[in-house]
């Protein structure tokens, strides 16, 4: 028997396929030529069911959806205290690439904007036998439930053109927020953004957060509980950048968007949602992704006020 959720997702997908508007990200040359019509929706429950529709095999770069997972790793490694010393937990109300650093200390406003995310990556230590980036990739893979990989093409493209992020990294180094080599931190941040995922991968990563850090299928504890609580809190207030207020009003779920066209939302204790559609709005979030989450939140009563 087909689940009513599958029928619902198929209708939603067909309906929103008609939605035009937005432009795929032009800031990273290797991403600029993506097919703007690709569109997928996936929903993963904490008991491990995945419902999916559309271009669910398509792989795209995770981009800023890497940020909550890198931040979670830094929190697990160091504990909240030392991380908080370097990265605040306040919404900046600014765009993702804004130079949002405290005037006197240089502390980034939060770990969801680029400055805070680069700082978070810089805090993650190497382990015996594993580089920092290998640890990041392992963490992302545990959250997805399969081995993920980097697009070298997208990585190199951003590394050659990401001058603003490079400037941010050096600024963070000048304030002592980054205490190590800013170039290495930046490379690892770019690599983290270039990890390739499918929409069901993202739904599983979101469901792992919904499931208190334990992967719904493998049962592996991929992120500690304290880190999950903190990550979801910061996603709630800062995950959608300068659109966070409107997002919480209409969708009411912790979320994170990426300029690759991916978007995740989390209903703690219940499910993870993911949408992929490359054309972006003015905030750098997927136009169809935002529309799909608004519709699902309304139709399924997912807004945290109603879901309570």
Question: Can residue 187 be called a binding residue for ligand GLN (CB under 6 A)?
Answer: no
Question: Can residue 110 be called a binding residue for ligand GLN (CB under 6 A)?
Answer: no
Residue 242 CB, shortest distance to ligand GLN, in Å, is: 11
Contacting residue, 97, 151, 199, 286, with ligand GLN by CB under 6 A: 97
* Contact mark string toward ligand GLN, 146..185, x via CB under 6 A: ------------x------x--------------------
Distances (CA, A) of 250 to 155, 170, 240: 34, 37, 12
Q: Are strands 262-267 and 50-54 parallel, antiparallel or unpaired?
A: unpaired
Clarify whether 259 is annotated catalytic.
yes
Clarify whether 174 is annotated catalytic.
no
Closest CA to 280 of 299, 260, 296: 260
Contacting residue, 39, 69, 96, 276, with ligand GLN by CB under 6 A: 96
Contacting residue, 193, 244, 248, 302, with ligand GLN by CB under 6 A: 193
Contacting residue, 116, 182, 258, 272, with ligand GLN by CB under 6 A: 258
Closest CA to 51 of 41, 39, 36, 65: 41
179 known ligand binder: no
Q: Which residues of 151-164 are buried (b: 16+ CB within 10 A; e: fewer)?
A: beebbebbbeebee
**If DSSP codes are grouped into helix, strand and coil, which group holds residue 196?**
strand
Look-up of token digits 């029928």: 7
**If DSSP codes are grouped into helix, strand and coil, which group holds residue 105?**
coil
List residues with catalytic annotation.
64, 67, 189, 241, 259
Q: Which residues bind ligand GLN (CB under 6 A)?
A: 63-64, 96-97, 114, 158, 165, 193, 258-259, 284
């Amino acid at each position: 028997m087909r689940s009513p959720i599958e029928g619902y997702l198929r209708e939603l997908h067909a309906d929103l396929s008609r939605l035009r508007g937005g432009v795929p990200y032009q800031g990273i040359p290797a991403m600029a030529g993506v097919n703007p019509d690709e569109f997928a929706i996936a929903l993963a429950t904490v008991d491990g069911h995945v419902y999916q529709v559309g271009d669910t095999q398509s792989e795209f770069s995770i981009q800023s959806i890497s940020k909550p997972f890198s931040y979670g790793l830094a929190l697990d490694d160091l504990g909240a205290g030392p991380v908080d010393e370097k990265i605040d937990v306040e919404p900046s109300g600014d765009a993702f690439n804004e130079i949002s650093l405290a005037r006197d200390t240089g502390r980034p406003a939060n770990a969801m904007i680029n400055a805070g995310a680069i700082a978070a990556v810089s805090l993650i230590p190497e382990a015996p036998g594993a580089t920092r980036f290998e640890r990041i990739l392992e963490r992302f893979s545990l959250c997805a439930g399969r081995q993920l990989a980097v697009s070298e093409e997208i990585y190199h493209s951003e590394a050659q053109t990401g001058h603003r992020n490079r400037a941010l990294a050096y600024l963070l180094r000048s304030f002592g927020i980054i205490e190590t080599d800013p170039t290495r931190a930046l490379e690892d941040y770019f690599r983290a953004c270039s990890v390739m995922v499918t929409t069901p991968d993202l739904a599983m990563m979101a469901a792992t957060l919904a499931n208190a850090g334990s992967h719904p299928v493998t049962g592996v504890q991929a992120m500690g509980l304290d880190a999950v609580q903190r990550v979801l809190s910061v996603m709630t207030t800062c995950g959608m950048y300068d659109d966070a207020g409107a997002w919480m009003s209409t969708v009411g779920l912790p979320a994170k968007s990426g300029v690759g066209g991916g978007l995740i939302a989390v209903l703690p204790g219940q499910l993870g949602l993911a949408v992929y559609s490359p054309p972006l709005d003015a905030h750098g979030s997927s136009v169809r992704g935002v529309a799909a989450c608004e519709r699902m939140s309304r139709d399924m009563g997912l807004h945290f006020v109603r879901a309570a």
